[in-house]
Amino acid sequence: MKLMDYGVKPLDFQNPQAHLNSADNGLSRRGFVVTALASGFAVAAQPVLAQAIKTDDKGLIAGEVKIPVAGGSIPGYRAVPKKPGKYPVVLVVQEIFGVHEHIQDMCRRYAKAGYYAIAPEMFARQGDVSKMTDIGQILSEVVSKVPDAQVCADLDAAVAFAGASKQADTKRVGLVGLERVPVREGVQLFDSQGHKLGHVTSGTLAPTVNQPIAMAYLAANHAAPGGEVQAEVRGKRYPMRVASMPFAPHRYHRG
């Protein structure tokens, strides 16, 4: 799935706030019904079993955050290890009950495992499902009215929030050049429509694979192996393919 399929520009990792402030995604005119997360479990998810898992926040920075989006902000829950470092990002996508205690607990579990976990409240514009008692009502009055473009934009906003914290390692990928033009640190990456997707962190001409290779940070929706991006070198753009790392298989044998 690409954001451009829904008329939403991909996230510019060099200037994420510009994406969040942009009104051209059509979402800024919506009001926000939910401005804070509810405590505990959603009513419709009751009764909660006595043996429900409860993960503590020892060793974590965990709690509610405000995620900037077009037209304002939405609440979300973030959990990350207290130990200084940059951690891989996990987007925890809510179920139909919103970002209630179960989703918050999932964030803490991921953080305990060494991830930056964040769950944006993606129903914030449509309704507060935490107090609804009927699942049918949740589906018909809230879930069915959440557009795909809104979901994509809110997830991108959550990644931008994580990246801006300096505690998150946003998606780092390998790139293989389709032409013999080396790319170096700082080279900007674009999609076929000219939208900026990320930047190269290091690159060289690799004799092992006989092609230019690089490592880069990319918008998550373009980071799947096999995808193609354009690297701008001295004013001209060259195609590169997203590749799994390492670029060449290991030849050694573990005894």
59-74 tens-digit pLDDT: 999 999 999 988 888 9
User: pLDDT digit string (tens) for 93-143?
Assistant: 888 888 888 889 989 998 998 888 999 998 888 888 787 788 888 888 888
Q: Looking at residue 87, what is its pLDDT?
A: 83
Enter the tokens of residue 46: 């009751």
User: pLDDT digit string (tens) for 182-191?
Assistant: 888 888 889 8
Between CA 247 and CA 251, with CA 249 as vertex, the angle to 5 degrees is 140
Please, what are the domains in the chain? Answer: 3-168 (3.40.50.1820), 172-243 (2.40.30.110)
User: pLDDT digit string (tens) for 201-251?
Assistant: 788 887 777 788 888 877 767 777 888 999 999 999 999 988 876 665 545
Output the CA–CA distances (angstroms, integers) from residue 216 to 158, 183, 200, 201, in the order listed. 20, 10, 4, 5
Q: Looking at residue 144, what is its pLDDT?
A: 86
Q: Are 171 and 29 in contact (CB under 8 A)?
A: no
Q: Looking at residue 49, what is its pLDDT?
A: 53
Q: Are 76 and 120 in contact (CB under 8 A)?
A: yes
209: amino acid identity, one letter: V
CA–CA distance, 187 with 191 (Å, rounded to integer): 14
The answer to whether the predicted template modeling score (pTM) of the entire model surpasses 0.85 is no
Going by pLDDT thresholds of 50, 70 and 90, the confidence category of residue 29 is very low
Q: Are 10 and 3 in contact (CB under 8 A)?
A: yes
Find the mean pLDDT for residues 163-173.
78
Sheet strands (E) in 97-210: 116-120, 168-169, 172-177, 188-190, 196-206
Going by pLDDT thresholds of 50, 70 and 90, the confidence category of residue 3 is very low
Closest to 34 in 3D by CA, of 121, 148, 104:
121
CA–CA distance, 67 with 37 (Å, rounded to integer): 12
Exposure class string for 15-37: b at 16+ Cβ within 10 A, else e: ebeebbeeeebebeebeeebeeb
β pairing state of 211-218 and 172-177: antiparallel
Q: Are 230 and 197 in contact (CB under 8 A)?
A: no
